């Protein structure tokens, strides 16, 4: 702070008077404390993690993607067919929104006329930058787990983790005396030193004071410890199973699905809050365009029996119902609160949802673990919108952030959970039916990595063979609406919507799998 003296002259009929005032001024050259303070909250941890990880995956493309993800997302509006449909469509059109189906049709005609060649990935293998990043994480884990002296292994075996130096020496057959083989072995054989027994009457303070002198048999928490590289072990190039990739030919925009969006770089990016129609339901449902793509990738047909394995909060199941195609939609979620949220959403958008027998027969709710979901009839279509790192939310919100310290184990085990859900979905769908796997993450681990592992496990453990459907030609008609990953950042097994300032949708990953046997 700088003290500044200022003199103020005041006039008077009798005499002139001077009043001196001391004014404190800030030194403008100093940085505000909020900038200097270290950012340690969960959202900043997520941002730092993504800078390191996605910077390795996307290279120079990551900075504009990050800039878009830190801004307000863009939505589309799905017109409610159970409300004032025509009035709502006219209202959205007057606000400058365009019908997504028309935009896709125009873009498709343009593509057909000029026949542009889609930019293909330079290699089917994981990018070298990604592999280098994974090797770095692997090396860091090995250095943390193993003693700093002696020869370190080339790779960490996640199936048989060695968590302390004594076991490491034993595993590598280091010559040590038998009585010192390991604390876990020698401690039970040692005589009890009764002089060190703590009398409970002494109180906890005394016990805590003596705690540091008592040898520990194991480190508390190591049983639940997980290496960071476990999260990246799902990047696999092993193709020792039948991997079939076919071009998608069944894709068609549903006739009755009405989706409206604003143009790229439009001055209008947000729709106003939905309002009630004459029938009492909301007039349209706003959501990310990536969620609509997941429903489109189902390629729904009239009379389909559909399972939404991880349904809550119910947006994608609602869009499936807006196509007027499925005969039965089963919404499954193990959480009671999340299932109740889905029911409230349906009640807001489906006429007489709570009282009509029609809806009770068509829309069913279950609360089972998706990995153990069973069914005797089989499904025509299964949607698996798995729990993921929810990248955009993780970068902007601290509440319930999966990058919180108490959720580290949950985050590292996400790919395993995701693959188990997808494997079970492949078992539940009938032969000839389709499974759509989707996330709201940019991570190649949670996207292509999980699909690859799930296809392998489904074939080896259950004899289920599925083909990956290439959606590149179908999604090319969306190039004027969303930003799709191209080149060496494009996934092999699906389509990835990447956020951009002009079209701030996503991130969303969509993969379509068709069961062959």
Nearest 10 degrees: Cα torsion 151, 156, 161, 165: 20
Q: Print the SS3 string covering 31-69.
A: CCHHHHCCCCCHHHHHHHHHHHHHHHHHHHHHHHHHHHH
* 362 CB-near residues (< 8 Å, 6+ apart): 321, 326, 327, 328, 329
Binding positions for S-adenosyl-L-methionine: 310-316, 333, 369, 385
Tokens representing 99? 């019908």
Q: Count other Cβ atoms within 10 Å, centred on residue 309.
A: 26
Q: What is the layout of strands, in order, in the sheet containing 259-261?
A: 98-99, 259-261, 76-79, 284-287
Binding positions: 310-316, 333, 369, 385
Q: 284 forms bridges with which residues in the sheet?
A: 79
Active-site position among 277, 289, 331, 440: 440
DSSP 3-state of 364: strand
d(CA 358, CA 354): 10
User: 152 exposed, middle or buried (CB, 10 Å; 0-12, 13-18, 19+)?
Assistant: middle
User: 159 exposed, middle or buried (CB, 10 Å; 0-12, 13-18, 19+)?
Assistant: exposed
277 catalytic? Reply is no
Task: Give the active site residues.
Answer: 440
């Amino acid at each position: 702070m700088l003290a500044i003296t200022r003199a103020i002259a005041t006039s008077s009929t009798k005499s002139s008077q001077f009043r001196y005032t001391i004014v404190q001024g800030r030194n403008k050259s100093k940085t505000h404390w909020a900038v200097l303070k270290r950012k340690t909250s969960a959202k900043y941890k997520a941002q730092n993690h993504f800078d390191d990880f996605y910077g390795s995956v996307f290279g120079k493309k990551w900075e504009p993607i990050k800039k878009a993800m830190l801004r307000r997302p863009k939505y589309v509006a799905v017109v409610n067919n159970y409300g004032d449909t025509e009035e709502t469509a006219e209202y959205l059109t007057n606000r400058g929104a365009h019908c997504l189906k028309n935009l896709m049709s125009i873009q498709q005609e343009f593509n057909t006329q000029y026949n542009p060649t889609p930019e293909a990935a330079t290699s089917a293998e994981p990018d070298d930058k990604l592999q280098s990043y994974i090797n770095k994480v692997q090396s860091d884990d090995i250095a943390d787990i193993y003693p700093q002296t002696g020869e370190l292994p080339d790779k960490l075996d996640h199936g048989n983790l060695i968590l302390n130096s004594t076991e490491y020496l034993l595993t590598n057959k280091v010559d040590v005396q038998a009585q010192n083989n390991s604390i876990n072995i020698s401690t039970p054989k040692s005589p009890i030193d009764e002089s060190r027994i703590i009398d409970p009457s002494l109180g906890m303070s005394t016990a805590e004071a003596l705690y540091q002198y008592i040898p520990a048999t194991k480190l508390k928490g190591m049983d639940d410890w997980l290496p960071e590289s476990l999260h990246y072990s799902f990047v696999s190039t092993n193709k020792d199973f039948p991997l079939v990739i076919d071009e998608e030919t069944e894709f068609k925009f549903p006739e009755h699905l009405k989706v409206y969006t604003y143009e790229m770089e439009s001055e209008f990016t947000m729709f106003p809050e939905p309002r009630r129609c004459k029938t009492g339901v909301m007039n349209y449902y706003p959501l990310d365009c990536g969620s609509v793509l997941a429903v489109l990738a189902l390629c729904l047909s009239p009379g389909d029996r559909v399972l939404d394995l991880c349904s809550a909060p119910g947006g994608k199941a609602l869009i499936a119902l807006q196509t007027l195609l499925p005969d039965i939609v089963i919404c499954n979620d193990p959480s009671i609160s999340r299932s109740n949220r889905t029911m409230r959403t349906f009640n807001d958008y489906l006429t007489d949802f709570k009282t009509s027998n029609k809806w009770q027969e068509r829309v069913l709710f279950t609360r089972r673990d998706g990995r153990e979901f069973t069914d005797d009839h089989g499904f025509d279509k299964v949607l698996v919108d798995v729990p993921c790192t929810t990248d955009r939310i993780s970068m902007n919100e601290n509440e319930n952030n999966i990058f919180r310290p108490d959720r580290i184990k949950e985050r590292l085990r996400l790919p395993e959970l995701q693959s188990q859900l997808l494997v079970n979905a492949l078992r539940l769908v009938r032969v000839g039916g389709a499974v759509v796997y989707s996330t709201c993450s940019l991570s190649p681990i949670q996207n292509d990595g999980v699909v690859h592992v799930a296809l392998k496990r489904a074939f080896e453990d259950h004899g289920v063979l599925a083909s990956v459907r290439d959606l590149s030609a179908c999604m090319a008609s969306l190039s004027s609406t969303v930003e799709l990953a191209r080149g060496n950042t494009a996934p092999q097994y699906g389509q990835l919507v990447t956020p951009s300032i002009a079209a701030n949708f996503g991130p969303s990953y969509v993969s379509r799998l068709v069961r062959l046997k």
